[in-house]
Amino acid sequence: MLERTRQVLRQSHLFRRFLISYLIILIIPSFAGYLSYRTSISLTESMSIENSVTELNKSKEMLERRMAEVEGFTRQLALNQDLNALLNEKPAVSGEMNVFGIWQLLKQVTPFSQTNDFLQNYYIYLSNYNVILAKGSTYRPESYYQSSHYENMSLTEWEDQVLHGTHRSEITPLNTLVTEDKQISAISYMQSLPLDSFSGSSPAAIVVTIDEQNIQNLLSGWIERYGGWTSITDKQGQPLSLQGISTDKMKAISSELESDKGGISRFVDDDLVITIPSKVTGWVYRAGIPKEILMQNANHIKHISWMFTGAALLVGLLVGLFLSYRHTAPLNRLLAMFKEQVLKEDQPPKKRNEFDFLHGNISQILVANRQLETVVARQFPLVRDGFLKRLINGEFETKSEILAAAMQAQTELESHSGYVGILQVNGYPDLDSVDILNELYAARLLVKQMLSGSETASGMYLTDLGSDRIVMIVLNGMNGEEADGEKLRLQLESLIGKVIETGYQEYKMKLTASFGAFFSSLQEISQSFEQAKQTAEYAAAEDSPDIVWFSDSRLESGSYYYPLDMEQRLISTVRAGDREEAEKLLRSVLEQNRDNRNLLLEMRHQFINEIKATLIKLLDQKVFLESERQQELHLKIMGIQAGIEWDGAQREFGEIIAGLSEIVTSKQNDSQRQIVEKIKQFISQHYSDGELNLYRIAEQAGRPEKYISQLFKEITGTNLSDYLERVRMEEAVKLLQGKQYTVDEISEMVGYNSAHSFRRAFKRVRGVSPSAYRQLAQ
């Protein structure tokens, strides 16, 4: 199907238009899905940023609580009575110290380092004793410097800036602290005592050294979760804690963020940088999250969205291709048919819209069809008149042929028995004047109006016979009820009598009517018409009443009755295989010569020989020459003696006609069966063609569609369409028993253009769906 679709795509503008329409319909929900996707991504991103800000705020609050604890520690020391007593003492001249007081103070402050990891490394400097209290012991400044000092600060600078300076909750930037066994990065919290020391040297100073690692531990959850970096800077931008980022890069980011007031969060170098200033300490907390980590959930949503969107687009495209092909295939076939029939060979096709082309041509067809209907409607009187003339002249061979022609002429032959009569306008011996012909035309018209205007004239059909005669075919049941021949004769005498009387009284027309014998089948109408003509000739020669019947006029003639048209009808009925009608014709002509003619013996012998000659002519036909019984029938015909009695002649001739009819019927049956077998063979070879229909089958058989359909039903007892469906279903059953093809592929292989039509037909024939049948078969 894909190869066929590619071929159609290259050749059909209509296919591309259908496909574009489906793609537009497909793009609209895809665009809506894209907007929904972008909204979901934005929402996910904002939620991730919000969670990150919340996490950083929690870490900030924890650090501020710890720093508040450090500040609280210095305030508690400021209120310590033993420390204040030591601060107020003056050292002895000999340099002795209040060892007990110092010991007592150390004992009180040592437990603080056990409750807060920020207080694990602190010292107290007493200027009056020039001593440092730390780690449960006392040190001289130079000794303490040797055990713990900042890498970039000398002893003198340390003493001047730290020990002798005045500090109020002062925090030094991140620096390297050198101890006896290691180096650490740390910040220092410094507070002078007493708390109201503002200038000059202070009596004492408390320095709390906070390891950077302790600060980083508070932010470790951030690093573990997001894998980014963190930094804390003071008001001057000096680093207090750095984790996962260098000082230079941090300063570059700080400069960029300070130059662009972008709010709490902003992307810098593929990192989301969150900045939160502290209102308590003035510190600036920053954290960076890699974009891929931040967008992990969003990327998951993105990948799933794109995967399903891509799959939906692919499926939609395939469905669009399938539907476009399905909907354009019949239109393309229709277009091809129109172009083949409408466009001439040397006429190039106009570049028009396909629908405009179809609209224009279908409109032309509808207009032409309406015009044709109008013309046909105008021709119906002529068609009916032609049918009636063929009927009275005996041009139909079979009853079915008569009924079909009657249906075409829209003439309902409700009864098959009745009379044929001739109504003649008398008084016009010469018909060579236009005025006379016009007068006769008017007379015929008046007579027809009088006949058709009568309430008892239903079932009467009229046609002209020359310029001065009207032929009447009167079917039994003329007044709406069935009647025998005698009763119908009385009804006709009453009706025709009134017409003749009215015509003479009102229009001075002299009318005479002649009727043939009563016919009991439609094929006998021509015979009754011949009898009516003979009766009219008899009425013209004799002084007869206005209405003359064939049964009342015994013809005195020395010649036999066997006209040429009667012989031709006998030959036609035998060749058509209509034994019953042929026997009726034979019986009629025999009775006519026996009952209504006074034949001399010689004329009788001549008549019998004429019948034999007719049968010999029949034997020379090809259909009889090829028969094995031809010689047998020929000898039988030649064996009939001219002096045979009437009953014997009827019996012998009847047997010969029966034999001839049997030959024709057998030949017809063989020919019909051959046609049916060819049709079956053609269907078995082309059932997979989705375009196979009654028209193509009839075209292959060389017969009309109506004939093929009726013949197939008569021979097989099955409608042709049902047989084609049965063949397709049988092949589908064979394919469904395997797993090689899908149901859609099988539907195409057995000649269905639509899988839905195939499923519906299969369920109607088999009672189950194709899929269910396959499961049951396996």
Residue type at 302? K
Do residues 516 and 433 both lie within one domain? yes
The per-type count for the chain, helices as H runs and strands as E runs, is 29, 18
Q: How many domains does the chain have?
A: 6
Do residues 28 and 122 both lie within one domain? no
**What CATH number is given to the structural domain containing 525?**
3.30.70.270
Residue type at 726? R
Q: At which of 628, 646, 672 does a domain end?
A: 672
Q: Which residues does residue 193 pair with via DSSP β-bridges, in sequence order?
A: 204
Radius of gyration of the chain (CA): 62
Do residues 87 and 200 both lie within one domain? yes
1: confidence class by pLDDT, cuts 50, 70, 90? very low
For 739, the 3-state DSSP assignment is coil
Instruction: Please check the confidence at residue 78 and state whether its pLDDT lies above 50.
Output: yes
For residues 666-679, average pLDDT = 80
- What is the rounded average pLDDT for all residues in the chain? 79
- Using alpha carbons, list the distances in angstroms from residue 456 to 66, 356, 445, 459: 127, 56, 19, 9
Q: Which span out of 457-461, 544-548, 620-624, 758-762 was modeled with the highest average pLDDT?
A: 758-762
The bridge status of strand 510-515 relative to strand 418-426 is antiparallel
Cα gap 353→483, rounded to integer Å? 66
At 619, list the tokens. 């034997």
| pLDDT (tens digit per residue) in 179-203 | 877 888 888 888 888 877 666 677 8
Cβ–Cβ under 8 Å, residues 510 and 426: yes
| pLDDT (tens digit per residue) in 389-442 | 888 887 787 788 888 888 888 888 878 888 999 998 887 766 667 878 888 888
At 767, list the tokens. 């009672």
Do residues 213 and 84 both lie within one domain? yes
Phi first, then psi, for residue 133 (nearest 5°) are -100, 120
Please report whether residue 724 resides in a domain. Answer: yes
pLDDT score, position 12: 65
H/E run at residue 775: helix 770-777
Instruction: Please check the confidence at residue 447 and state whether its pLDDT lies above 80.
Output: yes
Q: At which of 313, 338, 363 does a domain end?
A: 338
Please report whether residue 378 resides in a domain. Answer: no
| pLDDT (tens digit per residue) in 221-239 | 666 676 778 888 887 778 8
In terms of Cα–Cα distance, which of 17, 125, 610, 23 is closest to 8?
Answer: 17
pLDDT score, position 200: 65
- Using alpha carbons, list the distances in angstroms from residue 657 to 398, 578, 644: 16, 10, 17
| pLDDT (tens digit per residue) in 81-98 | 777 777 777 765 555 677
For residues 345-362, average pLDDT = 64
Please report whether residue 678 resides in a domain. Answer: no
Do residues 533 and 426 both lie within one domain? yes
> Where are the alpha helices (H) located in 687-769, listed in sequence order?
694-701, 705-716, 720-736, 743-749, 755-766
347 or 738: which leads in pLDDT? 738
Do residues 591 and 481 both lie within one domain? no
For residues 9-15, average pLDDT = 61
For residues 330-356, average pLDDT = 64
Cα gap 557→310, rounded to integer Å? 102
Do residues 34 and 94 both lie within one domain? no
Neighbouring CB atoms inside 10 A of 518's CB total 21
| pLDDT (tens digit per residue) in 508-555 | 888 889 998 888 888 888 888 888 888 887 777 666 678 888 877 655
85 or 770: which leads in pLDDT? 770
pLDDT score, position 748: 86
Please report whether residue 349 resides in a domain. Answer: no
Give the dihedral sign, CA 348/350/351/355: negative
Q: At which of 260, 276, 294 does a domain end?
A: 294
Cβ–Cβ under 8 Å, residues 197 and 166: yes
List the single range of 21-30, 98-107, 537-546 with lowest mean pLDDT. 537-546
Do residues 531 and 643 both lie within one domain? no
Please report whether residue 386 resides in a domain. Answer: no
Cα gap 544→640, rounded to integer Å? 41
Do residues 544 and 577 both lie within one domain? no
Domain extent at residue 759: 687-777
For residues 672-689, average pLDDT = 84
Q: Which span out of 241-250, 304-313, 648-657 was modeled with the highest average pLDDT?
A: 648-657
Do residues 189 and 307 both lie within one domain? no
Q: Which residues does residue 242 pair with via DSSP β-bridges, in sequence order?
A: 231
| pLDDT (tens digit per residue) in 611-654 | 888 888 888 887 777 777 888 888 888 888 887 888 888 888 88
Cα gap 136→109, rounded to integer Å? 9
Instruction: Please check the confidence at residue 296 and state whether its pLDDT lies above 80.
Output: no
Q: Which span out of 19-23, 448-452, 552-556 was modeled with the highest average pLDDT?
A: 448-452
Instruction: Please check the confidence at residue 262 and state whether its pLDDT lies above 70.
Output: no
Do residues 209 and 83 both lie within one domain? yes
Give the dihedral sign, CA 411/415/420/425: negative
Percent of the chain past pLDDT 70, that is, above it, reads 88
List the single range of 45-49, 465-469, 674-678, 766-770 with lowest mean pLDDT. 45-49
**What CATH number is given to the structural domain containing 285?**
3.30.450.60
Please report whether residue 390 resides in a domain. Answer: no
Do residues 106 and 162 both lie within one domain? yes
pLDDT score, position 471: 92
Instruction: Please check the confidence at residue 261 and state whether its pLDDT lies above 70.
Output: no
Instruction: Please check the confidence at residue 752 and state whether its pLDDT lies above 80.
Output: yes
HSE toward the beta carbon, residue 100, CA cutoff 13 A: 0
pLDDT score, position 252: 77
DSSP type of residue 456 = T
Query: What is the DSSP secondary-structure string of 745-762?
Result: HHHHHTT-S-HHHHHHHH
pLDDT score, position 709: 82
| pLDDT (tens digit per residue) in 121-146 | 888 888 888 888 887 788 888 888 88
- Using alpha carbons, list the distances in angstroms from residue 7 to 16, 42, 307, 597: 12, 45, 30, 81
Cβ–Cβ under 8 Å, residues 682 and 697: yes
Please report whether residue 404 resides in a domain. Answer: no
Please report whether residue 186 resides in a domain. Answer: yes
Please enumerate, as own/partner, the contacts of 698-703 that have beta carbons within 8 Å and a separation of 24 or more.
701/675, 703/675
